[in-house]
């Protein structure tokens, strides 16, 4: 007789019950169930605390809605977008559903960990994961993949305030590579069980696709801009890197785009030259520069793919923020005065 588990958000169960019902493993954080067309994800923020990081948890909502972060598979060394991590990245194209669980205390009278079902998820279609720095089980710093989950259409997630990302216990920073990599975007998945009419689902998918396509284009443009600028700096003999700032009492990390260690300049890049994007960059730079080590004499600058309007240029000048933008011949405004 086959065991069945009805996947209803809020359900409390165990890995063993899920494994028996859907034919997947029970020991890893990412467990594909090939025949069932599913991938099960088990999040346990306390597991990361053992290594000194806690990326897992419900992040603040953004303009696209709710967001849950999940640290990928791999205890030591740089995590790769393959293997179990790859099963998440290829879930949509393989028509596999992603189902998220969160650790929910021990089974009464037993040692097994209970799992609370959050609901069906999809990877963010613009930016499916971010690369973060964290120690491995061997205490050596490495790159980890932090996946960005969104609720699938028709899903009401069963998360609570307790599922929020834990706040950092102290402020710290890590030196990282400049943020030049743009992950390959994933396809929008075909969802099952979405409680909307066919015509409404089609219209919604069209709207989402248009938004995602635009955001993807901007993100890629920004990544290509940063990559070109880093190459420009290196050709001039400059040393570049970036930072990850953990702020005491806050979840997540602050991640500026590029730091020119040779000239002591911090850059924030935007893929569009609009006033709104430049204003956002100004706010980010004012925040970031407070945390840069040896910040005395630090200069900050906005990096853009082309020149903004004259009034936006005046805005930056009045705030003593540099402006560097790409031209056919290189980068105007560099070096920053």
What mean pLDDT comes out for the span 148-161? Answer: 94
Q: How much is the pLDDT for 213?
A: 61
pTM above 0.85, yes or no: no
Asked whether the beta carbons of 66 and 172 are under 8 A apart, the reply is no
What mean pLDDT comes out for the span 142-154? Answer: 93
CA 59 from chain center: how many Å?
A: 10
DSSP 96: -
Same domain as 227, residue 133: no
pLDDT digits (tens, 9 = 90+) for 102-134: 999 888 877 788 999 999 999 998 889 988 888
Cα(329)–Cα(58) distance, integer angstroms: 44
DSSP three-state, residue 232: helix
Share of the chain above pLDDT 70, in %: 86
Q: How much is the pLDDT for 109?
A: 78
What mean pLDDT comes out for the span 326-334? Answer: 96
pLDDT digits (tens, 9 = 90+) for 242-271: 999 989 988 888 999 999 999 999 999 999
Number of domains in the chain: 2
CATH number of the domain that 24 lies in? 2.30.280.10
Does residue 73 lie in a domain region?
A: yes
pLDDT digits (tens, 9 = 90+) for 175-190: 887 754 444 444 444 4
Q: Provide the residue range defining the domain that includes 65.
A: 12-161
pLDDT band at 7 (very low <50, low <70, confident <90, very high): very high
Same domain as 216, residue 198: yes
**pLDDT at residue 317 tops 90:** yes
Asked whether the beta carbons of 246 and 266 are under 8 A apart, the reply is no
pLDDT band at 198 (very low <50, low <70, confident <90, very high): very low
Same domain as 224, residue 145: no
Longest dimension (CA), the chain: 75
**pLDDT at residue 85 tops 90:** yes
pLDDT digits (tens, 9 = 90+) for 274-299: 999 999 999 999 999 999 998 889 99
Same domain as 310, residue 243: yes
Same domain as 44, residue 92: yes
pLDDT band at 319 (very low <50, low <70, confident <90, very high): very high
Does residue 6 lie in a domain region?
A: no
């Amino acid at each position: 007789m086959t065991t069945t588990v009805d996947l209803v958000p809020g359900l409390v169960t165990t890995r063993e019950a899920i494994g028996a019902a859907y034919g997947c493993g029970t020991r890893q954080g990412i467990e594909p169930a090939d025949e069932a067309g599913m991938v099960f994800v088990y999040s346990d923020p306390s597991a990361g605390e053992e290594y000194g990081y806690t990326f897992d948890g419900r992040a603040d909502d953004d303009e696209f809605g709710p967001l849950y972060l999940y640290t990928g598979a791999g205890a030591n060394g740089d995590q790769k977008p393959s293997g179990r991590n790859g099963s998440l990245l290829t879930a949509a194209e393989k028509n596999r559903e992603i189902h998220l669980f969160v650790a929910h205390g021990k089974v009464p009278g037993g040692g097994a960990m209970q799992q609370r079902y959050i609901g069906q998820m999809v990877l963010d279609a613009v930016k499916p994961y971010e690369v973060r720095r964290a120690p491995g089980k061997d205490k050596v710093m490495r790159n980890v993949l932090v996946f960005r989950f969104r609720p699938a259409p028709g899903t009401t997630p069963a998360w609570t305030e307790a599922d929020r990302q834990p706040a950092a216990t102290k402020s710290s920073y890590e030196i990282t590579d400049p943020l030049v990599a743009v992950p390959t975007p994933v396809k929008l998945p075909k969802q099952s069980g979405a409680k909307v009419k066919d015509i409404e689902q089609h219209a919604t998918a069209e709207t989402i696709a248009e938004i995602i396509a635009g955001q993807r284009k901007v993100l890629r443009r920004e990544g290509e801009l940063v990559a070109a600028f880093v190459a420009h700096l290196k050709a001039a003999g400059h040393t570049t890197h970036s930072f990850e700032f953990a702020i005491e009492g806050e979840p997540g990390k602050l991640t500026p785009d590029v730091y020119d260690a040779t000239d002591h300049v911090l850059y924030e890049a935007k893929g569009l030259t609009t006033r709104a994007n430049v204003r956002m960059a100004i706010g980010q730079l004012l925040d970031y520069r407070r945390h840069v080590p040896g910040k005395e004499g630090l200069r900050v600058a906005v990096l853009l793919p082309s020149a903004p309007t004259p009034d936006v240029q005046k805005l930056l000048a009045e705030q003593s923020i540099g402006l560097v933008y790409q031209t056919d011949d290189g980068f105007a405004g560099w070096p920053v005065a």
